[in-house]
Each structure stands twice: as structure tokens, then as C-alpha cells.
Structure 1
Amino acid sequence: MISAILVDDETLNISNLSALLARHCPGVQIIATATHADEARELIMTMKPDVVFLDIEMPGKNGFELLRSIPDPDFEVIFVTAYDTYGIMAVKFSALDYLLKPINTTELKDAVERAEASVQLKKQNLRLGNLLQLLDKKQPDENEKIALPTLKETYLVPVKDIVRCESSNNYTTFYLANGAEHIISKPLYAYDEMLTPYGFIRCHQSHLVNKAHIVSILNEDSGYLIMQRSDKKVPISKQKKSLIKTLLKL
């Protein structure tokens, strides 16, 4: 059993989420609810929940401002929002869970299961700190870290250390400059959107590369990219060839 606090400025949303948790997530015990950030902060500091279901858009202080006001947050956070825009990219980048209203029960159960696993392992939630750092940045910074959740643990990897990404069905393998490889159970397109602002190029349907790690281009077939510390030739699709030349200023 894990303890939870629900934070949403609309009581109807709190009632709906409470009902969904009671019906589909019996391992969650709701210990308190709050309708604004100041009330939520007091409850979180005194009751020490395992997980907080947090609405992002609220009058006064929003959900992110609430998190900034709590020193060393050690609880899991599942964001609940009606908007798939505000801050969501930073949430995705930090591999944190978010639910769009109206809440899908399957997504809710999956998010709760992940929260339960993290609580049971009593891991410090480094991803939350990563999220708050990302939200404070105005421009993409290659020193920022992206959370890569594998089956065993979550790695926080500097973006600049990623050489390339390769997809296989719904999995993506990250190849790092130090030779490490991490297999993530997410499709490549999810990372394409996140990494493009950091100089990554989708050169092929199955490949995403870091422009900073490109060594040369082979003029074979439709073309191949040679990456640093890699013997593998990364193919360039015919549709992407002109775009690659433009981006690399060739």
C-alpha cells in the first residue's frame, strides 16, 4: 500500500480521480486532498506521502511552483493535466508520468504500478530534480541530462554524451560516447521530438544521430554517416539526404 495526496483546484476532478483509484488501484491509499498549492505544500510536508497526483495548471501557484517550494522532494509525482503543452516536454524529458484529462484507466494503472515500484525500492527521485532544472533553462543546453529508464534502473545521461539512437519496433537503443548502450522500451519518435532542439538529426526512419558526433559521410547508395567511436555505418534515407546536407552545411 502506498499513500497519496491528490492536488487539483477543481473538487470534481478530485472526486473523479478518487473514484478511479478506488476502483482500479486498490494499492493506493488517499491520505489527503488539496485544492491549491499552499494547502498542498503544508499537507505534503506534514504527511510525507509516497506519491502526489498533481494538477499542473492551478490559480495562484501552479504545480511546478509548488514543487519548487518543497525542499528535497522525495515523493513520486504523477502529473494530471488537461493540456498536452505546458511543461510536458520537460516532464517527458525527465521520464516522469503524466495523465491527460479525462484520465484513461489503463494509463492510470500503469503510472501507479511504476510509482509503486519506485516507492518499494526507496529510490531517491533524481528525475524530479532533473525536471526542475530543465524548467529553469531558457535555451537547450547540451549539458542537460535526459532520463533513460531501463528495466533495472534509470540512468541520467548528459545529452552531449549520446552518439546516436536506433529503433527496433517499440524499443530504442541509446549508444553513448563511453561505449555504454541502454535499451529503452519507447519508440524512437518519442525521443526525436525531445532531442531535435539539441542538434540531433533523424537521418533515417530507424536512426537518430547527434550532429556533434558525426565524423564523415560516405557517398555510397543514398549515403551513410560515420559516427565517433563506432564502426557501424548509419544509413541516410533518400528522403532525408537533402535535409542532412542542409543541416550539415554541405
Structure 2
Amino acid sequence: MIRAIIVDDEQNNIKNLSALLASHCPEIEVVATATQAGQAREYLLHFRPDVLFLDIHMPGQNGFELLKSLREYPFEVVFVTAYDAYGIMAIKFSALDYLLKPVSIPELKSAVEKIAKAVRQKKHNLRLENLLHLLDKPTKDPGQRIALPTQKETYLVVVNDILRCESSNNYSIFFLRDGTMHVISRPIYEYEELLAPYGFIRCHQSHLVNKNHIRSILNEDTGYLIIENTIKKIPISRQRKAFVMSQLK
């Protein structure tokens, strides 16, 4: 069994999530619930859970402040939150998973699959440490790592090792300098804002490129970008050409 603690300031949210886990994720055992950070901190030390389902916005200490108050993180964290642009941005960079309220059953099952894999592997929770680092010390350092959660595994990748990202329906394909690629089940627009501070340019509806790795520009049609280590031509859309050229000056 995977031992879990749920922290949310709304008791109804705790009941709803507990019921969903009991009905659809029998491998999860909810060992404790809490409605505020102080109580949650005590339960985390006492029960030593495998996973913490954590709300972000709570009165008093919020979810991020709770995490920063702890000395160690021997558990996985899944955030359960209403939409929040800054919170979701940080989570997509680093956390194991996040769920938007109201929680859907398919997304909950997907999160539990990731939890089970992480618990089995017993890996040190680098994702959470990375999250806290991002919250404490925002950086545009291209050496910063981000998490790319694929269906089978979450990869921690140095930002500057990403050459480009290509859209495929509701998926995003990341191409890395070492020739590997990762398919992420998130649309490309979700990564545009996240990667913009690191020099990534949305040159086309389906393409996001790292300008640090642009080798040349082809003056054909509306233009193409050539990325190092590849001969593929990345199109520049007519609507974005002026923006792309301004970013490359």
C-alpha cells in the first residue's frame, strides 16, 4: 500500500478526494488528513507517508510555505489546486504531478501511477528540491533543470540541453542536444511562457525553439530556422516573423 496524507483547508475537498481514492485507487491508503499547515507538519513527521496531496492556497501558511518549513522531503508531492498562473507554472517545472479542482478520475489515476513508480524506485525527490529552489531563487540560468514528465518516467533536463519543442496535437515533443527526445502529454503553449525567460522563441504555431542553438536562417518562403545538430528546417510563420527577427538581433 502507498501511504498518503491529504492537506486542504476545505473539509469537503478532503472528503471528495478521499472518496475518489478509495473508489478508484485502492493502492492508496489515506493515513491522515489535515486542514492547516501546523497539523500537517505533525502528521508528516509522525506517519512518514509516501505521498502528500497538498492544496496550495490555505489560510495562514500556504502549501509552498509548509514545504519550505520542512527539513527533509522523503515523500512525493501532488498538488491539488484551483487554477493559479504562478503556482501552476512552478509545478509544471518541478513537481511530480498536479490536479486541478474539481479532480477528474482519469487525471487522478494518472497521478497515482506516477506515485507508484516513484515509490517503487525509491529515488531521492529531486523534483521537490528543484521546486523549492525555483520559489526561493527565481533564475534565468540556462543551467537550470526542469522536469519533463513522460508516460513512463519523469526526466530532469538542463534547460540549455533542449534544442526545440514541436507540437503534435495535444502532445509536445522535446528534442535534446544528445539526440534523445521526450513526448510530453501537454500542449506546446503551456511551455511557451515557462521557457521564454530562457531564450525560447515561439516561431510557429507548432514550434518552440531555443535561440541559443539556432545555426542559421533560411530566406525561403516566410523563412526557416536551422538548429544545430539537425538539418530539419523549422518554419517561421508570417504572423510571427517580425517578433522572431527582433528576438534574434
Question: Is this a same-fold pair by TM over 0.5?
Answer: yes
8 Å Cα contact 1:84/1:100 also seen in 2: no
Cα pair distance change 1:20/1:179, threshold 3 Å: closer
1:76 to 1:99, Cα distance in 2 relative to 1, 3 A = same
Q: Please say if residues 80 and 100 of structure 2, whose CA atoms lie closer than 8 Å, have aligned partners that are also in contact.
A: yes
What is the SS of the residue equivalent to 2:77?
A: strand
Secondary structure of 2:85's match? coil
1:21 aligns to 2:21 (yes or no): yes
Instruction: State TM-score, norm by structure 2.
Output: 0.91
Q: Share of identical aligned residues, percent?
A: 64
Q: Does 1:132 align with 2:138?
A: no
Aligned residue in 1 for 2:192: 192
Deviations 1:217-245 (A, max 9, x none): 11011111122232222111222212212
State the match for 2:54 in structure 1. Answer: 54
Measured in 2, the distance between the counterparts of 1:101 and 1:207 equals 30
Provide the C-alpha distance between the structure 2 equivalents of 1:13 and 1:100, rounded to a whole number of angstroms: 12
What's the counterpart of residue 182 of structure 1? 182
SS state of the match for residue 87, structure 1?
helix
What is the letter of the counterpart of residue 136 of structure 2? D
**CA shift in 2, pair 1:102/1:174, >3 Å:** closer
Letter matched to residue 114 of structure 2:
R
Counterpart in the other structure of 1:3: 3
- Residue 213 (structure 1) aligned with residue 213 (structure 2): yes
Aligned mates of 2:162, 2:82 — CA distance in 1: 32
Q: TM-score when scaled to structure 1?
A: 0.91
Structure 1 residue 215: Cα displacement: 2.2
> Which sits farther off after the overlay, 167-176 or 39-48?
167-176
Q: How many residues align?
A: 249
Deviations 1:51-99 (A, max 9, x none): 1111111122111111112223121111112233342101011153222
Q: CA deviation at 1:115?
A: 1.2
Q: Which amino acid aligns with 1:138?
A: P
Report deviation, 1:5: 0.6
CA distance in 2 between counterparts of 1:153 and 1:23 reads 25
Q: 1:189 to 1:21 in 2, by over 3 A?
A: same
Residues in 2 aligned to 1:175 and 1:75: alpha-carbon distance in whole angstroms: 30
1:123 counterpart residue number: 123
Aligned-residue CA RMSD (Å):
1.9
**Residue type matched to 2:19 in 1?**
A
